Amino acid sequence: MWNKNRVTELLGIEYPILQGPFGGGLSTVELTTTVSNLGGLGGFGAYTLSPQEIYDIHREIQSKTDKPYNLNLWVNDHDIIDEEHTKKQYQKAVESFKPYFDLLNTDIPAPPPSFESRFQNQLEVIFDIKPKVFSFMFGLLNENIIEDLHRQGTVVFGNATTLDEAVALEKTGVDVIIASGFESGGHRPSFLDQAELSTTGTFVLIQLIKDKVKIPVVAAGGIATGRGIAGAFQLGAEAVQIGTAFLATEESGALPIHKEFLFSDAAKSTSLTRAYTGRLGRGITSKITRDVLAATDKTLPFPLQTHFMGALRKAALEQQKNEFVFFWAGQIAPILKHKKASTLMLSLIEEASELLQ
């Protein structure tokens, strides 16, 4: 049976289909619990949340499902070097992006207060709520922390964009590796080298990792159908993580205009860029993407660029000038069909079952 393997046994789920844990308000309790209740593994991205918010979300999810779900955090949640360097970068960003603010007749935001990492405080909540599955991105966790998570019964996933990252993750004791191919929408969670140098495709990455590591591998990126699941399994994956297809459903937290774009011709063109958050991520190509695709020296470190561009995004959405808005999307978006998470999930199961039985 294709749906009975090390991943389903480890997690206690019926189908090895994982919903990508979206950050930035894109995850919802409804989407997470819909996927889990249908036998997959729902996911919730919590890197922007306070410890109390994480606790509250966990309680809400538990009230709607007794199935496991994946709670995701970022180990490294900022790229800020020092205050003086940041001031110089901010001025460069102002000069580079001022024409767009002028076009939208909106003010350039002042620099935010100094940024403090939230990860350690967030991690403490993981030990309080004891989720069945905890995944992390943008780095490695200390082996002792992973051992403590195992002792409380939490299964630990690490995200890799290269073979070297996968090997490093296995050495720390994670249970499962999510192989994140460059086709994926959203941020590239690279941590051993520059993200621009860590852009291996999903189906190649699966094979590279399977050849060197012993723990299960989850294929992520470029998968939105049962055919994609079947292809990933043929190459050695024991589960898939699907992002863009679930992001496009009614249950996700994406704006209606974002979902509209995912089902439009605009989704045929996506780009990897740092222009919108300061970290490399894939979304639908926009005017700003085309203009500053190579201007990485003029973008601010994450998350300051997110703050800087937030005002521009808000004004563009209010004025319905969507050419100035960046909508996360993977390369697979042009073949999306389903607008309900339950319909999508059942379609994935049915088609994968037909191909893999």
Q: What is the pLDDT of residue 23?
A: 93
CA 156 to chain CA centroid, nearest Å: 16
pLDDT digits 0-9 by tens, 255-285 = 999 999 999 999 999 999 998 899 999 999 9
pLDDT at residue 84 is higher than 80: no
Residue 92: what pLDDT? 83
Q: From residue 80, give the alpha-carbon distance in Å to each of 87, 94, 185, 311.
A: 11, 17, 24, 20
Query: What is residue 295's predicted lDDT score, i.e. its pLDDT?
Result: 58
- Cα(296)–Cα(332) distance, rounded to whole angstroms? 25
217-241, pLDDT tens digit by residue?
999 999 999 999 999 999 999 999 9
The one-letter amino acid at 67? K
Q: Tell whether the model's pLDDT for residue 22 goes beyond 80.
A: yes
Give the pairing of strands 281-284 and 270-273.
Answer: antiparallel
Mean pLDDT of 110-135: 91
Q: Does residue 69 carry a pLDDT above 70?
A: yes
pLDDT at 27: 98
Residue 58: predicted pLDDT: 98
